[in-house]
């Protein structure tokens, strides 16, 4: 069975709809036929988060969101990067076969240079740790956004360097997977949904805040009586992402009828989104009082991740040294 892996970095408070449609949902779909792993990238968050309380708060929030959104009978393994005892040992060995010139090409490093910010060594070495995260588990496929493809390319390069240097096939060379049609999610101002534009909504926002966001979506200026084109409407673009085909056809017909305004369409979108995430929102609320389910799943995930990492590290040691 092929393996897929993704990660969540606890540098944000909450997950928004763009994250869900662009990364989470495609991953869960792929996971139906593969062995799947999601890890909390808390080591990676240390490049920018240097407050213990903020980091712990973000981790807990992300765990509540992910376990609320994951199917209850899911076999996806969720674990914490920092709880994998050998991940940094593996990273150190891999760093010995990673060219300095390769690290200079890393987007994260270049972005920090362009912003004239203080560059810490965690930022510089970020791609090597990410490589360890990916190849330690013999990952076949890594679902990513377009701007994350380089992570997988680096993982392939570093894995190949290790295999060539030590004349082995220990590490599998992973492939990336990008879902092209969900790379740009439209939102309130017609631009793509993005934290930098402050034009997104959190999935677990209150109904009141969710409604306020949806009612602020930018639309055209036709009157209530005018026929409207659903194909160039930001509201309908979002409706298509959450509604089934019958519902889409029904609403598209209303767009072309008299006495149907964008206000009506926005209310329909609100109801569609609330219904779509109804079960997840209820589960999320239940975690406010009891996270025993999360802790149980996380403990099992950490145990499995450690077992696999220990096995990979021991094999590396046998290759690198004559004795352990």
- Per-residue pLDDT of 117-149, as tens digits, reads 677 898 889 999 999 999 999 999 998 877 788
Measured distance CA(230)–CA(266) in Å, rounded: 12
pLDDT digits (tens, 9 = 90+) for 56-92: 999 999 999 999 999 888 899 999 999 999 999 999 9
* CATH code of the domain in which 259 resides: 1.10.240.10
Please indicate, yes or no, whether residues 90 and 166 belong to a single structural domain of this protein: yes
Query: Using CA of residue 25, residue 30, residue 34, residue 40, what is the dihedral sign?
Result: negative
Q: pLDDT band at 180, cuts 50/70/90?
A: low
Residues 121, 122, 125, 129: what is their CA dihedral angle, to the nearest 10 degrees? 160
Average pLDDT over residues 252-265: 92
Q: What crossing angle do the helices spanning 278-286 and 52-69 adopt, rounded to 10°?
A: 130
Is 133 found in the same domain as 27?
yes
Same domain, 180 and 219: no
Q: Is the pLDDT of residue 197 over 50?
A: no
Indicate whether 24 and 76 sit together in one domain: yes
Mean pLDDT of 162-171: 97
Does residue 12 fall inside a structural domain?
yes
Mean pLDDT of the residues in the chain: 89
Q: What CATH number is associated with residue 316?
A: 3.40.50.620
In the chain, the number of structural domains is 2
Instruction: Kindly state whether residues 219 and 114 are assigned to the same domain.
Output: no
Range of the domain at 128: 3-184+291-320
- Pick from 107-121, 183-197, 297-311: least confident: 183-197
Token pair, residue 118, equals 């203080």
């Amino acid at each position: 069975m092929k393996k897929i892996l993704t990660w969540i970095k606890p540098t944000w408070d909450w997950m928004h709809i763009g994250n869900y449609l662009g990364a989470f949902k495609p991953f869960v779909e792929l996971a139906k036929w593969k062995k799947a792993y999601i890890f909390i990238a808390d080591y990676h968050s240390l490049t920018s988060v240097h407050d213990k309380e903020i980091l712990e708060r973000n981790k807990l929030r992300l765990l509540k969101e992910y376990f609320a959104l994951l199917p209850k009978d899911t076999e996806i393994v969720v674990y914490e990067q920092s709880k994998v005892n050998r991940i940094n040992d593996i990273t150190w060995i891999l760093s010995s076969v990673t060219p300095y010139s390769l690290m200079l090409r890393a987007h994260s490093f270049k972005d920090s240079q362009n912003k004239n910010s203080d560059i810490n060594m965690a930022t510089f070495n970020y791609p090597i740790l990410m490589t360890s995260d990916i190849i330690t588990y013999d990952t076949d496929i890594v679902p990513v956004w377009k701007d994350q493809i380089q992570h997988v390319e680096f993982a392939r390069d570093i894995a190949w360097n290790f295999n060539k240097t030590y004349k082995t096939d220990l590490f599998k060379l992973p492939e990336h997977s990008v879902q092209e049609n969900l790379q740009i999610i439209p939102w309130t101002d017609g631009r793509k949904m993005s934290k930098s534009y402050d034009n997104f909504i959190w999935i677990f926002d209150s109904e009141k805040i969710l409604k306020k966001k949806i009612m602020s979506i930018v639309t055209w200026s036709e009157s209530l009586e005018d026929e409207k084109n659903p194909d160039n409407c930001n509201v309908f673009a979002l409706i298509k992402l959450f509604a089934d085909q019958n519902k889409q056809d029904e609403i598209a017909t209303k767009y072309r009828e008299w006495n149907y305004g964008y206000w009506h369409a926005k209310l329909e979108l609100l109801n569609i989104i609330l219904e779509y995430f109804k079960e997840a929102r209820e589960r999320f609320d239940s975690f406010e009082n009891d996270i025993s389910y999360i802790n149980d799943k996380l403990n099992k995930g950490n145990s499995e991740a450690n077992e696999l990492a220990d096995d990979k590290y021991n094999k590396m040691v046998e290759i690198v040294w004559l004795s352990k």
